[in-house]
A and B are shown apart, each in its own frame.
Chain A
Amino acid sequence: MSDEPRKIAFICSKGNLDMVYPALVMGWAALGNGIEVTLFFTFWGMDMINKARVDHLEIPPIANTSMKMNMMGIPGYIGIPQIFGIIPGMTAFASWLMKKKMKGLKVPPVREYLEMMVDGGAKLYACKMSVDMFDLKKEDFIDGVIDIVTASDFMDMTEGAQIVFI
């Protein structure tokens, strides 16, 4: 093994609950293994660091062909008819169910997960273009977001890192 520590950077571009957790789980595992971790939030991924949004992330059953009713305890892999997905409350129900399952596995909510990652040394950055597009300011972000940076800055700061786009 070389003396240079391994580095990994996650580009978080999605705000749906199922797309939010991969970077958190892998990033936390990386920190635990002594790997330097950078998280770069762009587009819908900005919801993960937006104070007003982070506690309200959801997962919609619509157009999600992998979400079957066995999650609700119905045996087999019976799909949820897409037409049901548009019924008001279905997204809230699916989100509640997923959060409940996560809690059962002792997985912390997104805000707390990011806090512990910052405590573990992860570096958080917001994408300049997305910040401008969504009319956000640094004050809108949770503590721990170091700066708003350009794509070029991100490339500079992740030299030698493995980059994962989510």
Chain B
Amino acid sequence: MPTKNIAGKDIQVNEEGFMTNPAEWTKEIAAEIAKEEGISELSEMHWKVIDFCRANAESTGAVPTLRTITTGSGVSTKEVFALFPKGPAKKVARISGLGKPEGCV
């Protein structure tokens, strides 16, 4: 399994750059990956989405889809696309330290 140094820690990632062990995730890592994704600073709204994804993945065992996020987090579709522009599905999952979303909607 390849590792990548993010925020001073060696983190396990897969070929596509998704973290493979959610337990290694920290807020500093999230901020670092966000920068890689072109988001210079994570706002309160960003955290609302990220916290929802982490909690949802933990309780369901599956990485939430965009639709799960927009119907469950209280952040609308428009807002999610504005917060994580150009590909929110993958960006949110990467920043949240989760794998690719499972499911099509």
Contact = CB atoms under 8 A, between A and B. Distances in A.
Interface of A: 5, 25, 28-29, 31-35, 105-108, 116, 119-121
Contacts of B87: 32-35
Interface of B: 66-68, 70, 76-78, 81, 85-90, 101, 104-105
A32 B104 CA distance: 10
A108 B105 contact: yes
A20 to B, nearest CB: 14
23 contacts: A5-B86, A28-B67, A28-B105, A29-B89, A29-B104, A31-B81, A32-B66, A32-B101, A33-B89, A34-B85, A34-B86, A34-B87, A34-B90, A105-B105, A106-B68, A106-B105, A116-B67, A116-B77, A119-B76, A119-B81, A120-B66, A120-B77, A120-B81
B86 A116 contact: no
B52 to A, nearest CB: 16
Q: Is the interface of A mostly helix, strand, loop or mixed?
A: loop
A88 to B, nearest CB: 33
Contacts of A29: 89, 104
Contact of B70 (A25, A33, A34, A116): A116
Contacts of A119: 76-78, 81
Nearest to B76: A119
Nearest to A32: B89
A5 B87 CA distance: 11
Nearest to B87: A34
Contacts of B77: 116, 119-120
A33 to B, nearest CB: 5
A116 B81 CA distance: 10
Nearest to A116: B77
Contacts of A35: 87
A87 B65 CA distance: 40
A35 B90 CA distance: 12
Nearest to B77: A119
Contacts of A31: 81
A32 B90 CA distance: 7
A32 B66 CA distance: 7
A93 to B, nearest CB: 25
Nearest to A5: B86
A24 B83 CA distance: 22
A119 B80 CA distance: 9
Given A106-B67, A120-B81, A32 B76 contact: no
